[in-house]
């Protein structure tokens, strides 16, 4: 998890709701640095995956894989706590 307290949870881009993407909620993604760390971890572990993290909504969208367990393990390995978001 990012230890910086100077970043604010602001993002100019929003995470798109793609029905073919793996979507996870990462409550401890608090800034752009966190989103970048998650992106780098997932893309390194799953070459070809496209990751979009939005600290404002706490959502991470991953296209190019349907392997939820692998994505969760990569995000956890980067120091964050992913969960499946509630529908609604």
pLDDT means per 10 residues, the chain with 88 residues, are 52 52 95 97 96 96 94 98 85
Q: What is the pLDDT of residue 65?
A: 93
Q: What is the pLDDT of residue 83?
A: 96
**Spans of all domains in the chain:** 22-83
How far is residue 83's CA from residue 12's CA, in Å, rounded to a whole number?
23
Whole-model pTM: value is 0.79
How far is residue 79's CA from residue 75's CA, in Å, rounded to a whole number?
7
CATH fold, domain 22-83, is Alpha-Beta Plaits (3.30.70)
Q: What is the pLDDT of residue 86?
A: 81
């Amino acid at each position: 998890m990012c230890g910086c307290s100077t970043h604010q949870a602001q993002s100019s881009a929003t995470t798109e709701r793609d029905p073919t993407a793996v979507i996870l909620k990462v409550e401890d993604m608090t800034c752009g640095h966190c989103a970048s760390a998650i992106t780098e971890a997932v893309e390194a572990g799953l070459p070809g995956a496209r990751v979009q993290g939005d600290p404002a909504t706490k959502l991470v969208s991953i296209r190019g894989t349907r392997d939820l367990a692998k994505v969760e393990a990569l995000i956890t390995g980067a120091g964050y706590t992913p969960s499946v978001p509630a529908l609604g």
